[in-house]
Amino acid sequence: MTLANPLRFADLEQVGPGTPSGTYLRRFWHPVLRARDLVPGQAKPIEILAEKFTVYRSDTGVPHVVAFRCAHRGAQLSLGWIEGDALRCRYHGWKFDRSGQCVEQPTEDKPFCQRVKIPSYPTREYLGLIFAYLGEGAPPPFTRYPDLDRPGVIIADPTEIVPCNFWNRLDNDIAHIPWVHRATALRKGRHDYIVPRREIVEETPYGWSNTRMPVSNSGGMRDLSPKAHFFMPNVYQFQHRTRANGFEMRNLWDTKIMWTVPVNDTTLAAFDVTHTPLEGAEARAYEASRSGDQEAESENRWDIGEKILAGEMTIEEIPDDITAYTSFAIEDYVTQVGQGPIEGRTREHLGQTDAKVILLRRMWLREITAMLEGTALTDWQFPVEPLYEILAPA
């Protein structure tokens, strides 16, 4: 079946059930919560892909994702209690096991548990994140990321909840770095960030990869950094010299993976995980320094972002003592939120440096068109070996 009207890029911004992008994204596993933000015996409400769910951790520490509401009269299940690996509703005490099956109706004279089941979703914990498969039927194989499976420090950053459509972040490109991050680069003495750059992008069996070059490079100059890689549909992996306090001046390369997951049409969640090739006592010192600063600063970083967007302060006025990590995050926040929550992308003027944006949109349009027309989708081949060499720390 050929679509009567070809899909346009603006048709890809909605993510709810039944929408083109919503249906496509539900074919993949996604992170839904940072693991350390959920302790054993705790339940939380989450919103992902414009749908609400309950995520809870059993008393023994295993995460589960089930429906948002109780099947009895719709109470919010995150208000309830965890009992072993089951969840009991706060309203009238019905109890649901991890498969969503009702197993107790304490106030019913004639319980009918066997007829009551709430949806439950395959759930996994990996790299400091809780992943779920929210689609229909059996999940695809769980994707692992070999570059992050190696020895080293793994840090899952505080989740960024950003009030704009997920494409604002997926479309972020390499050309923004010397402009968006100029103030932080100058403040932190990182002049390597200020070189204007462009990327050469090519499609790969897993998505795309790029080579990042200075704009003036007509051949001869070295690439700015190792290639970046994109794993369909929403995962970006790259390396950068570490920005952690006390380690910035080392030739220490982090491998970072960023998942951009739509919360709904006008909010995204960014889950970033970083691998740093340190071990032993140095690894523990690095971990303590880095996550201590980031956790503390994550509390009010968006307040600063909103003040900048409102014109009450400038990016140059971001306080000196804020880490490079948080300062970069604020700069990206104001740029992406400043583009508008969901703009339909009808007013753009794309140029040569937007090659990556154009390629990614084409790939999404191609895949989703195939899905809607009922023809074969690309069977993405994700790497099973690391893509990066481990660079020896200086």
Q: Which residues bind Fe ion (CB under 5 A)?
A: 332
Choose the contact partner of 70 out of ligand FES, Fe ion, none; CB within 5 to 8 A by kind: ligand FES
Count Cβ atoms below 10 Å from residue 177 Cβ, excluding itself.
Answer: 22
Helix axes 324-338, 280-298, angle to 10 degrees: 40
Instruction: Give the DSSP H or E segment for 155.
Output: strand 153-156
Choose the contact partner of 36 out of Fe ion, ligand FES, none; CB within 5 to 8 A by kind: none
Token pair in block for residue 150? 């190696």
Could you tell me which residues come within 8 angstroms of residue 114 by beta carbon, excluding any fewer than 6 positions away?
102
Please, which residue, 107 or 375, has the CB nearer to ligand FES? 107
Choose the contact partner of 145 out of Fe ion, ligand FES, none; CB within 5 to 8 A by kind: none
State the pairing for strand pair 197-204/207-214.
Answer: antiparallel
> How many residues make contact with ligand FES (CB under 6 A)?
9
Please, which residue, 33 or 177, has the CB nearer to Fe ion? 177
Handedness of CA 256, 236, 314, 197 (dihedral sign): positive
β-partners of residue 130 are 33, 125
Choose the contact partner of 383 out of Fe ion, ligand FES, none; CB within 5 to 8 A by kind: none
**Site map for ligand FES, 346-375, x if CB under 6 A?**
------------------------------
**Cα torsion at 309, 314, 317, 321 (round to 10°)?**
30
The full length of the chain comes to 394
Please, which residue, 265 or 272, has the CB nearer to Fe ion? 272
- 315: alpha, beta or left? (left if phi > 0; alpha if psi -120 to 50): alpha
Choose the contact partner of 382 out of ligand FES, Fe ion, none; CB within 5 to 8 A by kind: none
- Shortest spacing between CB 176 and Fe ion, in angstroms: 6
Choose the contact partner of 44 out of Fe ion, ligand FES, none; CB within 5 to 8 A by kind: none
Token pair in block for residue 115? 């007829």
Half-sphere exposure of 311 (CA within 13 A, CB side): 0
Please, which residue, 103 or 372, has the CB nearer to ligand FES? 103
Choose the contact partner of 73 out of ligand FES, Fe ion, none; CB within 5 to 8 A by kind: ligand FES
Please, which residue, 46 or 304, has the CB nearer to Fe ion? 304
Cβ atoms of 152 and 277 closer than 8 Å: yes
- Shortest spacing between CB 54 and ligand FES, in angstroms: 12
Choose the contact partner of 332 out of Fe ion, ligand FES, none; CB within 5 to 8 A by kind: Fe ion
- Shortest spacing between CB 181 and Fe ion, in angstroms: 6
Interface with ligand FES in residues 62-121 (CB under 6 A) = 70, 72-73, 75, 89, 91-94
Cβ atoms of 345 and 12 closer than 8 Å: no
Interface with ligand FES in residues 52-71 (CB under 6 A) = 70
Helix (H, G, I), strand (E, B) or coil at 268: strand
Please, which residue, 50 or 113, has the CB nearer to ligand FES? 113
Please, which residue, 61 or 106, has the CB nearer to ligand FES? 106
- CA terminus-to-terminus distance, the chain: 58
Please, which residue, 142 or 179, has the CB nearer to Fe ion? 179
Among 302, 303, 294, which Cα is nearest to 324's? 294
- Shortest spacing between CB 71 and ligand FES, in angstroms: 7
Which positions touch ligand FES (CB under 6 A)?
A: 70, 72-73, 75, 89, 91-94
